[in-house]
A = this chain, B = another copy of it.
Amino acid sequence: MHLHSITVADPPLRSSYGLHAPYALRTIIELKTDDGITGISETYGGDGPVAALEALRDRLTGMDPFRLAELYQQMNQPVSDGDRSQTYLLPGENPLDQNARTFAAIEIACLDIIGKAIGKPVCDIIGGRVRDLVPFSAYLFYKHAGGGGSGNDRREDEYGEVLDSPSAVREATQMIARYGFREIKLKGGVLPPDVEISTIRALHQEFGDAYPLRIDPNCAWSVETSVRVGRSLHQELSGGGYLEDPCPTLDGMAEVHRCLVAENNHTPLASNVAVTNFADVPRARSREAVQIVLCDPHYWGGMRQVQHLSHLCGVLGMGLSMHSNSHLGVSLMAMTHVAAACPNLTYACDTHYPWQTAADEVVAGGRIPIENGCVRIPDKPGLGVELDYDQLARGRERYSKLSYRKRDDEAEMRTHVDPNWKRILPRW
């Protein structure tokens, strides 16, 4: 096992968590077999994820990459029950998910090994694709001026400052022109709700019903504000879009849904905050708190667990979409393969990929093409991508020079925007 701690330049994107730092942290995993095959994966970065992977080194040495369920069973309780909140945690930082995250990084690299060993794409190893093209959504952020990186290592600021509705429409127009996305997500919880309402309305006016819209304020709103936004955006969100984590907790989400349904507003609620674990799913269903679960192979325990989640959501009559974090092409391909092999994927997946640049990509041949909003399953074995070791070395070098080893959007916000800033929930 080789672990590569790298950084990826990241623009000053805003969310209710605060501000993205100039570099996001990622870890690239290589697992090498006796017979010379290298499987790769990508996961969260920084000291914590690397230490968790290091702790598995002895267990992995000599392991059969096909014997994944046994490793999963050893690392994970059947179902973590009890209350477990993601509300105040960044994705990838819930201690209850740690083993699922660590397992996922290993599983994906093992599936890449298997695919390479037998000459089949990963999606076909895990049961077979049901689509060759996986749709992703345009992921809009409010942001400050600036590309990613810092000092002499700055990336181009492709989208400029986006802190009002007209600039958000411009951002969407640019991103859609470049990638062809057919669904649009706005990261909200940043500007006052009335501004974000006007942004969604402006996007709807610009793109029309053919582009379903979703907004995700990451729990920044009270139940009352969530209902008010849901009511205001009834028309804009209900045509194949959704309202994502407007407020914290299943109880809060259930109350929002109840109030909206009482007004004959059936905008579905999506979540990757109130629902982060299998035990949450039936609870979310029975309380009618969440209608769409946002999966993620990185913290739901890998590809096969996401397939189980997809199936579970289908059985319970719930939709499935996919969450994303700042990531490179290895993660994008893992997301694409598992999405291709999930029959019950009812929405385009999220991806931060447009926010990263070729300068940071570690995949040989450069960035993965997104065309007509979709990533195509490559006609290559495994994940279908190899590492560019020069680029990887550059990522490691950037990492070595970086002063932080953990994402802290709140600190970043205090440094660059407001020295007194705190994440307050609900803010509105």
Contact A282/B130 with A66-B120, A73-B343, A120-B66 known, Cβ cut-off 8 Å: no
Residue A251 at the B interface, CB < 8 A?
Answer: no
Q: How many residues of A contact B (CB 8 A)?
A: 38
* A88 interface residue (CB < 8 Å to B): no
Residues from chain B with Cβ under 8 Å of A129 in the complex: 67, 69-70
Q: Given the interface contacts A312-B315, A314-B78, A315-B282, does A66 sit within 8 Å of B124 by beta carbon? A: yes
Question: Does A390 count as interface, using CB distance less than 8 angstroms?
Answer: no
A125 pairs with B66, CB closer than 8 A: yes
A155-198 CB mask vs B (1 if < 8 Å, else 0) is: 00000000000000000000000000000000000000000000
State whether A130 and B70 are in contact (beta carbons under 8 Å apart), knowing that A79-B314, A278-B315 are contacts in the complex. Answer: yes
Task: Quickly give the copy total for this chain.
Answer: 2
Among candidates B124, B125, B282, B308, residue contacting A282 with C-beta atoms closer than 8 Å: B282
Q: Is A78's CB under 8 angstroms from B344's CB?
A: yes
Chain B residues in 8 Å Cβ range of A128: 64, 66-71
Bitwise, A278-299 to B at CB < 8 A (1) or not (0) is 1101100110000000000000
Instruction: Flag if A67 contacts B124 (CB, 8 Å).
Output: yes
Interface residues of A in 299-323 (CB under 8 A from B): 304, 307-308, 311-312, 314-317
The answer on a CB contact under 8 Å between B312 and A69 is no
Known: A69-B343, A343-B69, A344-B78. A315 touches B279 (CB 8 A): yes
Q: Which residues of B contact A120 (CB under 8 A)?
A: 66
Distance in angstroms from A300 CB to nearest chain B CB is 12
A315 touches B281 (CB 8 A): yes
A291 CB, nearest partner CB in chain B, Å: 15
Asked if A127 lies at the interface with its beta carbon under 8 angstroms from chain B, I say yes
Contacts of A118 in B (CB 8 A): 117-118
In chain A, positions 324-372 with a C-beta closer than 8 Å to chain B are 341, 343-344
Name the distance in Å between A283's Cβ and chain B's nearest Cβ.
10
**Among residues 47 to 66 in chain A, which have CB atoms less than 8 Å away from a CB atom of chain B?**
64, 66
Q: Which of A107-166 contact B (CB under 8 A)?
A: 117-118, 120, 124-125, 127-130
Complex: A308 Cα to B313 Cα, angstroms: 11
The listed residue (B71, B130, B308, B314) touching A311 by CB distance below 8 A is B308
A130, B66: Cβ atoms closer than 8 Å: no
User: Which residues on B sit within 8 Å (CB–CB) of A130?
Assistant: 69-70, 73
The CA of A72 and the CA of B343, in the complex, are separated in Å by 10
Task: With a 10 A CB-CB cut-off, give which of A72, A127, A130, A341 has the most chain B CB atoms.
Answer: A127
B residues near A285, Cβ cutoff 8 Å = 282
Residues of chain A having any CB pair with chain B under 8 Å: 64, 66-73, 78-79, 117-118, 120, 124-125, 127-130, 278-279, 281-282, 285-286, 304, 307-308, 311-312, 314-317, 341, 343-344
Can you offer 12 A-B residue contacts whose CB atoms are under 8 A?
A66-B124, A67-B124, A68-B127, A69-B127, A69-B128, A73-B130, A118-B118, A278-B315, A281-B315, A282-B316, A286-B286, A312-B312
Q: Which 8 A-B pairs have the closest CB atoms?
A: A69-B128, A66-B124, A67-B128, A308-B311, A68-B128, A69-B127, A278-B315, A118-B118
For the A-B complex with A66-B120, A67-B129, A311-B312 known, give 16 more contacts whose Cβ atoms are closer than 8 Å. Answer: A64-B128, A66-B124, A66-B125, A68-B127, A69-B127, A69-B129, A69-B343, A70-B128, A78-B343, A117-B118, A278-B311, A278-B314, A279-B315, A282-B282, A282-B316, A308-B308
